[in-house]
Amino acid sequence: MSGVSVTPLTIVKVDENTSIYAEDFLAAEEPLEIRLGYGPAQNRVQKSISVTMRTPGNDFELAIGFLFTEGIIENSGQVASVKHCNGLNENVVRVALIDSLELDMSKLERNFYTTSSCGVCGKSSIDAVKTVCRLPKASADHLRFSAEMIYKLPELLRQKQKIFDHTGGLHGCGLFDANGSLLLAREDVGRHNALDKLIGAALQQGLFPLDKYLLLLSGRASFELIQKAYMAGIKIVAAVGAPSGLAVQMAADSDITLIGFLRGQRFNIYCGEQRISIKSYQSEVI
């Protein structure tokens, strides 16, 4: 349990007609400001591009993953350095890009639809995301996961959610290979932050593109999470919770297999069923 990721608190536990004082742990939530340094050496510019509420920890991965999923950087080689400002303020991260990188300044204005409350939906949202995905298309698509393997994945991810064990208040996501091995797992109070942390870690570890892996989400599958998966080249997304309508549309239009309500030995396939192997399959309309 990380000391910066949880907050201890004395609470009153009530059970029918009894109450006791007990120590509890809450998931920490603090703002993280991401600052970007870019431009030629003789004319460097620093710009604050985002403030997000996150669980402290893996902040550098979060910043790099955010820059990638926003289309600002294409690979980790474009990052010259990443550090906390002045080495002291852990709630401000500065990412310095290499001098030779030419930025499209419009991408710094956050033209992406990354919240469910923004009021923008439909085909225009999907088209806007697709214009910035610069990963090469896979030459062949042989990715397959069996239903039996998929059933096991939530528990494997759950075993890695150490902060969730103490707080019960974090979203998690995991990256699995075709053998069902968990390669990376990240947690955060924000589901989009958890995924940015995971994508940032994968980028730093040279795992890209991620078209050979399955992404598991501990909660629901929203449009913003499918957008980020698409940017990273992920071809299978499985969620313990429900997908939104726009998430399904984005996945279908982007040739992503989308699974929802993965619980026990059950799940729903919303699109891309060709990547899921099922031992006995009977087509039936209920």
Q: What pLDDT sits at residue 3?
A: 42
Strand partners, 18: 15
Confidence check: pLDDT of 120 > 50: no
* DSSP secondary structure code for residue 109 in this structure: G
Cis? peptide before 56, omega within 30° of 0: no
DSSP string, 189-221: SSHHHHHHHHHHHHHHTT--S-TTSEEEESS-B
How much helix, strand and coil, in percent to the nearest 5, is found in the chain? Answer: 30, 35, 40
Q: What pLDDT sits at residue 111?
A: 43
Question: What confidence tier does 10 reach under pLDDT thresholds 50, 70, 90?
Answer: confident
Asked if residue 110 belongs to a domain, the reply is no
**Residue 271 annotated to the active site:** no
* Average pLDDT for 278-285: 65
Residue with tokens 């062949």: 140
Q: What is the Cα–Cα distance from 210 to 175, expressed in whole angstroms?
A: 9
Number of folded domains in the chain?
1
The answer to whether the Cα torsion of 139, 131, 172, 152 is positive or negative is: negative
Q: What pLDDT sits at residue 157?
A: 92
Residue with tokens 């699974």: 259
Q: What is the Cα–Cα distance from 71 to 141, expressed in whole angstroms?
A: 24
* Average pLDDT for 202-220: 94
Cβ neighbours of residue 155 closer than 8 Å, sequence gap 6 or more: none
Q: What pLDDT sits at residue 251?
A: 95
- Residue pLDDT, tens place only, 23-75: 877 778 899 999 999 999 889 999 998 899 999 999 999 999 999 998 899 99
Q: What is the Cα–Cα distance from 128 to 43, expressed in whole angstroms?
A: 31
Domain holding 230: CATH number?
3.40.140.10
- State which residues form the domain around 166: 145-277
Report the b/e string of 29-39 with b at 16+ CB within 10 A: beebbbbbebb
Q: What pLDDT sits at residue 163?
A: 61
Tokens in use for 271? 């699109």
Asked if residue 160 belongs to a domain, the reply is yes
Asked if residue 152 belongs to a domain, the reply is yes
Q: Catalytic: which of 118, 121, 133, 271?
A: 118
Asked if residue 105 belongs to a domain, the reply is no
Asked if residue 237 belongs to a domain, the reply is yes
Confidence check: pLDDT of 217 > 90: yes
Asked if residue 41 belongs to a domain, the reply is no
Q: What pLDDT sits at residue 170?
A: 81
In 3D space, the residue among 177, 186, 150 whose CA is nearest the CA of residue 258 turns out to be: 150
**Distances in Å between the alpha carbon of 241 and those of 120, 188, 206, 216, 224?**
23, 17, 30, 11, 15
Asked if residue 98 belongs to a domain, the reply is no
Question: Whole-model pTM?
Answer: 0.85
- Residue pLDDT, tens place only, 237-262: 999 999 999 999 999 999 999 999 99
Asked if residue 186 belongs to a domain, the reply is yes
